[in-house]
Amino acid sequence: MMSGLWLAARRARQAGLHPDTIFNLATWLIVAGVIGARGFYVVEYWREFVRPDPMQTLQAVLAVAGGGIVLY
């Protein structure tokens, strides 16, 4: 990830963009990637998260400390 970010900043500089734009964008993309990985894990293993009460189901989905993200 770091080498890709470095390469993107270098290419942005060559294209006349400020490299800080790439670093700011990368922050948001990393956060979105982690949220998406968790979301896909929840969809893939939905039966492990279903509880009798919808609020308990939501708490189980949001309990990231228990583990579970998909990483390919």
The per-residue DSSP string of 13-53 comes to: HHTT--HHHHHHHHHHHHHHHHHHHHHHHHHHTGGGT--SS
In this structure, are residues 19 and 9 in contact, taking their beta carbons and an 8 Å threshold?
A: yes
What's the rounded Cα separation, in Å, for the pair 29 and 13? 20
Give the sign of the dihedral formed by CA 18, CA 28, CA 67, CA 69. Answer: negative
Q: What is the pLDDT of residues 11-39, one digit of tens each?
A: 999 999 999 999 999 999 999 998 999 99
**What mean pLDDT is reported for the chain?**
90
- In this prediction the pTM is 0.72
What's the rounded Cα separation, in Å, for the pair 64 and 25? 24
